[in-house]
């Protein structure tokens, strides 16, 4: 492998991993140089150059081992697991739940237990080996998975998770009044007003930084607001569909437009769309992952089933924000 290939592989890691690996390389060279200089008698036994190199080498490699094998920090980048997990939730993830993937090829080593139905899982999607996703395991090996009008069925039976969050096109008037009041209160916040008045001088990151408001438990359903200076959107549980209003629904047989980045699995199998999918029977080493917010989730309906060696772990706790800290279910 040449330097170009090494650099290409290095860029596939996320920023935290790149930082740790860069530090590991620096301190490894530092400590090796200090060790050789000490053996050659050019450094005293307690020289700061040697001691700092030894301490940095030990600390960074210990952090890498802990992150690879035991516990890793993970932040939620999207709305796919609303309301269970919100954007910018920070989790500590156990890497020992299922054992570890084999370092080369497929398979696992020290497999401690199998995935449980309904469990939230961290995994590597088949189409993007350099990133990690968090979804709920809906289907286990041997299951036949199907989606009918947004409801998930396993082996022909409706699942015990009939809810999802979908963006509302309209809501019942009684809910709209309460949600509009919450929206106006958010828009009146001094920081939001300042951003909107800044106009072009405000950055896109500032205008579209998302805050979740709610839940609002109203007679017509349970709602959340996705709020930013540039927009406020209402979400509701699909369980409340008869009372809450209408959802954007894709008809059976509708063919979703394929984005250039959409994985080949969805394109090749032609099993349906977001709301009408399957049936698809999972192989002995396959798991079906879906987001709780199924209207806005890039999951197994698009990139296909997840193999056993692509599993990485399960969330232990949410440690940030503090008002939502606790165990994740």
251-289 residue pLDDT tens = 888 887 766 666 678 777 788 888 899 899 999 999 999
Q: Tell me whether residue 80 is one of the annotated catalytic residues.
A: yes
**Chain segment 282-316, per-residue pLDDT in tens:** 999 999 999 988 888 889 998 999 998 888 889 98
Give, in degrees to the nearest 5, the angle at Cα 56 between 52 and 57. Answer: 115
Share of the chain above pLDDT 90, in %: 19
Q: DSSP state, 88?
A: T
284 Cβ neighbours under 8 A, 6+ residues apart: 141, 142
Q: What are phi and psi for residue 264, nearest 5 degrees?
A: -65, -25
* Active-site residue, from 45, 46, 80, 284: 80
Which is the catalytic residue, given 95, 135, 150, 307?
Answer: 135
CA–CA gap between residue 229 and residue 187 (Å, rounded): 7
At 109-142, the pLDDT tens digits run: 777 788 999 999 999 888 777 788 999 999 999 9
- Of 245 and 23, the structure prediction assigns the larger pLDDT to 23
Please tell me the distance from the alpha carbon of residue 234 to that of residue 166, in angstroms, as a whole number: 9
Cross-strand partners of 326: 318
**Interatomic CA distance for residues 10 and 22, integer angstroms:** 9
The better pLDDT of the pair 219, 38 is held by 38
Residue 229, SS3? coil
């Amino acid at each position: 492998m040449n330097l170009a290939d090494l650099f290409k592989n290095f860029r596939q890691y996320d920023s935290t991993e790149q930082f740790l690996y860069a530090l590991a390389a620096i301190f490894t060279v530092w400590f090796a140089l200090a060790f050789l200089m000490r053996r050659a008698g050019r450094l005293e036994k307690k020289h700061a150059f040697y001691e700092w190199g030894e301490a940095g080498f030990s600390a960074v490699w210990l952090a890498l081992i802990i992150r690879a094998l035991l516990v890793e920090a993970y932040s939620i980048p999207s709305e796919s697991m609303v309301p269970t997990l919100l954007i910018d939730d920070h989790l500590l993830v156990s890497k020992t739940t299922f054992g570890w993937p084999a370092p080369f090829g497929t398979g696992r080593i020290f497999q401690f237990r199998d995935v449980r139905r309904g469990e939230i899982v961290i995994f590597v999607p088949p189409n993007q080996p350099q990133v990690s996703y968090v979804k709920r395991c809906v289907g286990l090996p041997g299951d036949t998975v199907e989606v009918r009008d947004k409801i998930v069925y396993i082996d022909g039976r409706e699942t015990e998770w009939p809810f999802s969050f979908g963006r509302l096109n309209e809501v019942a008037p009684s809910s709209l009044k309460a949600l509009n009041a919450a929206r106006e209160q958010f828009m009146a916040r001094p920081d939001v007003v300042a951003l909107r008045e800044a106009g072009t001088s405000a950055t896109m990151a500032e205008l579209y930084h998302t805050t979740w408001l709610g839940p609002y438990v109203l007679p017509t359903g349970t709602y959340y607001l996705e709020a930013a200076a540039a927009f406020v959107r209402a979400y509701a549980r699909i369980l409340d569909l008869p009372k809450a209003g209408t959802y954007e629904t894709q008809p059976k047989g509708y063919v979703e437009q394929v984005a250039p980045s959409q994985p080949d699995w969805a394109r090749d199998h032609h099993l349906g769309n977001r709301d009408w999918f399957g049936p698809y029977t999972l192989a002995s080493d396959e798991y079906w992952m879906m987001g709780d917010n199924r209207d806005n989730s890039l999951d197994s309906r698009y990139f296909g089933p997840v193999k056993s060696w692509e599993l990485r772990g399960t969330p232990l706790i949410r440690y940030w924000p503090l008002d939502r800290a606790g165990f994740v279910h």
